[in-house]
Structure 1
Amino acid sequence: MKINVLGLSVQESEVIIEKLNVLLSNFQVYYQNLRGLHWNIRGKRFFDLHVKFEELYNDSQLKIDLIAERVLTLGGKPMHTFTEYLANNSLKIGKDISKDTEAVQLVIDSLTELLKIERVILEAAASHNDEGTNAMMSDFIKEQEKTIWMMQAWMEEE
């Protein structure tokens, strides 16, 4: 078995790199959806949601960078074209969403899908003793579960 400089199996790292690139693609779509929500939100909740969507897209931008850097750390190349992102995306693409509840539901649905991908990566990383990827996925999952809970609480306010 060939081992990389991190002490991880090259073959197993390639599997994780592929899964991280899928996550990267989905995060890029999520990020762009959030930008669209931020720009297009309308109504009485504009001020709150406009700020919240900016907070979420800034956070997503940081996570995108972390994912790409992890791919590089493991010896891979991060995907970086929109063609690749769309080919590997499983999130709904939100177009022209201006209604508050529709926008928040898109965030909930997107985070739910991202969690599925992250849990697959978490399991693969754990079975390959890839603690760096495992820790990153654990952090993402914890934050996103809390965001889903908060968004669902917001949806129930009326």
Structure 2
Amino acid sequence: MDAKEISLSEKKVKPVVDMLNDYLANYHIHYQKLRGCHWNIKGQNFFTLHVKFEELYTNAQLTIDEIAERVLTLGKPPHSRFEDYIKESTIKEINTIGMSDMAMVDEVLADMAKLIEIERDLLEASDTAGDDGTNDMVNRFMQFKEKTNWMLRSFAGKK
């Protein structure tokens, strides 16, 4: 399979594929951070955040699969090694053991802000490449994060 089989120019879509693989790397680190927050949450907000972090990591897992499948649809292999995720991700790993509940929320918010930034860049690149499929997919992911960002900021009492 290659991009031309779905009426896309390989030359135009190559930057999109590279960006999708970077996006995939960032999402994997974000996913693992959500798992750590879910496993290690303590305090007054345990019941609320334990459930929310599980909802978010479940969504992230599905998103990761869609991103990887889009890379394959465009004719390239997706990154699949943690070594690549860690090397290419701008989102960094953290140790969630002993972290306060609100510090966890702040980390998730920071990750989402970074992912939204990547998504906006991907929307621009996929538009330039005429890649409506990637554009539609990324737009759905961004809308989910924008709403979740608002909800977590409200939960944390932030503007």
With normalisation by structure 1, the TM-score equals 0.95
Whether 2:107 is the aligned partner of 1:99: answer: no
Q: Percent identity?
A: 42
Whether 2:26 is the aligned partner of 1:13: answer: no
Tell me which amino acid in the other structure corresponds to 1:81: R
Q: Which residue is 1:23 aligned to? A: 23
Structure 1 unmatched ranges of 5 or more: none
SS of residue matched to 2:108:
helix
Partner Cα distance (1:3, 1:107) in 2? 34
User: Larger relative contact order (C-alpha < 8 A, sep ≥ 6)?
Assistant: 2
Q: Which residue is 2:133 aligned to? A: 132
Query: Is the 2:3–2:10 Cα contact (8 Å) retained in structure 1?
Result: yes
Whether 2:149 is the aligned partner of 1:148: answer: yes
Task: State the Cα distance separating 1:3 from its structure 2 match.
Answer: 6.4
Tell me which amino acid in the other structure corresponds to 1:35: R
With normalisation by structure 2, the TM-score equals 0.94
SS of residue matched to 2:139:
helix
Task: State the Cα distance separating 1:92 from its structure 2 match.
Answer: 3.0
Whether 2:75 is the aligned partner of 1:75: answer: yes
Tell me which amino acid in the other structure corresponds to 2:24: L
Q: Which residue is 2:115 aligned to? A: 114
Partner Cα distance (1:14, 1:72) in 2? 12
Partner Cα distance (2:31, 2:82) in 1? 12
Partner Cα distance (1:94, 1:109) in 2? 12
Partner Cα distance (2:29, 2:73) in 1? 23
Task: State the Cα distance separating 1:142 from its structure 2 match.
Answer: 0.8
Partner Cα distance (1:117, 1:12) in 2? 18
Partner Cα distance (1:58, 1:115) in 2? 18
Partner Cα distance (2:138, 2:96) in 1? 31
Task: State the Cα distance separating 1:96 from its structure 2 match.
Answer: 2.5
SS of residue matched to 1:120:
helix
CA RMSD between the two structures:
1.4
Structure 2 unmatched ranges of 5 or more: none
Encode CA deviations 1:72-115: one digit per residue, 9 max, x unaligned. 00001100001100111111322135311100000100000001
Q: Which residue is 2:40 aligned to? A: 40
Structure 1 residue runs of 4 or more that deviate by more than 3 Å after TM superposition: none
Tell me which amino acid in the other structure corresponds to 2:106: Q
